[in-house]
Amino acid sequence: MLHQTMRWYGPHDTVSLMDIRQAGCAGVVNALHQIPVGEIWTIDEIEKRKNLIEAAGMTWTVIESLPVHEDIKKRNGKYELYIDNYKQSLKNVAACGLKVVTYNFMPILDWLRTDVAYELADKSKALYFEFDKFMVFDIYLLQRPGAENEYTAEELAIAKNKFEQMTEHEKQYVFKNCLLGLPGSDESFTPQQILAALKTYEGITKDQLKQNLFAFLREVVPVAEANGLQMAIHPDDPPYSVLGLPRIVSTQQDLLDIVNCIDSPANGLCFCTGSLGARPDNDVVGMIDQLGDKIHFLHLRNTKRFSNGNFFEADHLDGDTDMYEVMKKIVLLMRKRNVSIPMRPDHGHQMLDDLHKSTYPGYSAIGRLKGLAELRGLELGVSKSLP
């Protein structure tokens, strides 16, 4: 069976450890958000967090995330120091008994949405990415230099029309959502921070960013392997370029390139069906056949796509990805590998009592509990139906 978990943002999370345990989870997925990106995770801080989780009757074996410093992604500045720090952090988490290290290589921003409270027909709320509004943010609100050169004439006309129709409140709402900080942080980016960070990526192509990732992996994967860890890279979200930044973890070929760049059991994937499923050219079910042996961690969520690049977080068993077929492939994969892959539901809807609470967008308790219950039932049904 899958090792069922939920993401927990630490002692200040409004969703408590007992909330997660009551949802039926055996463990939590966690990170030390209080440690600045690039600094070493000490054994003392890791053990403090681990003891807190174990005191609540659960385990902590999956890190999400051990963030990669921007200097490493650009391979400039103090990148050598930050890689050395990363290696030491890997040794420390392994010494504390953790097993999977999730990370991403998205420049500057983590996941991005234009609406973090999109109201569905049943009045629950979901995360939503609307391409037209994102163009308004990019061109008119952020005023990124050269942004207008990266859209077609038709797209520019759509963005202009959308901008003129939006109220001041709508503009500020989109502006705020697109500048949300990193997961686990209550602080948003400022426009000045984003524009300054974008300038540092000038001239870095998709191929160069990919080569920088490969260089990073050639340094850290041997350390992970020697210490019994599995590295799991998370796909881009959205899985295409935003703000003119290259994206290199968006397609099946991207994932194949990554797992093939260094042959090691430690070099693998966080297979996120929601991020990958936001692209219509990704065959999510087929990708499990191609990449199954490299899947170290699962995010099982679903998105509903529209023809113009828009998508929202659907119910876990709804959306454009056939979750039944995904689960069947995963069950067979675990039998073949004789492992229990850690899994968590993701980006649950804000619903019921949680509509009146303040939580990090996508991480309220009840919507994720609903998703976990659906996935758990689906796994049981699939397992019993297979020989």
Judged by DSSP in three states, 69 sits in: coil
Q: Which two tokens stand for residue 376?
A: 């758990």
User: Catalytic positions, please?
Assistant: 234, 272, 299, 346-347, 363
Angle (deg, nearest 10), helices 79-95 and 206-226: 30
Residues in the chain: 387
Say if strands 311-313 and 125-129 run parallel, antiparallel, or are unpaired: antiparallel
Q: Can you count the helices (H) and strands (E) in the chain?
A: 14, 12
Beta bridge partners of 206: none
Q: Which two tokens stand for residue 125?
A: 């709320």
Placement of tokens 């828009």 in the chain: 310
With a CB cutoff of 8 Å and minimum separation 6, the contacts of 316 are 300, 301, 302, 323, 345, 348, 370, 371, 374, 375
With a CB cutoff of 8 Å and minimum separation 6, the contacts of 216 are 68, 72, 83, 105
**How many whole angstroms separate alpha carbon 315 and alpha carbon 273?**
13
